Amino acid sequence: MDRYFETAAAVVAQLFGPDSAIPPWAWLFVLLAVFWKLVVPEPRTAEDRDEAMLSAMYDGKDGKKKRRKK
């Protein structure tokens, strides 16, 4: 079990440590890419929200409401 922890610690040290091949400032770009949708949300209009709500409520095929699962 200790071997797994040592391997994991070595991998983390190679990625984030002072001797890593990836510079520390490059990790900021990775975090920005991962959280891009939270940082810069898409502009939505009221019509977009209404259409999303109606499509969630109705099937769109026959105009009947979807049944909620219990």
Per-residue pLDDT of the chain (70 residues; tens, 9 = 90+): 899 999 999 998 888 888 888 888 888 888 888 888 887 877 788 888 888 888 888 765 555 555 555 5
The answer to whether position 37 is within a domain reads yes
- Is 70 domain-assigned? no
Residue 8: predicted pLDDT? 95
> Token digits for 34?
């991962």
44 falls within a domain? yes
Count of the separate structural domains present in the chain:
1
With respect to residue 15, please indicate whether it lies within any of the assigned structural domains.
yes
What range defines the domain where residue 44 resides?
A: 2-57
Look at residue 9 in the predicted model and tell me its pLDDT.
92
What is the model's pTM?
Answer: 0.40
**Domain assignment present for 32:** yes
Q: What is the pLDDT at residue 39?
A: 78
Count of alpha carbons within 13 angstroms of residue 21, beta-carbon side:
1
| 66 occurs within a structural domain | no
Q: What is the pLDDT of residue 61?
A: 57
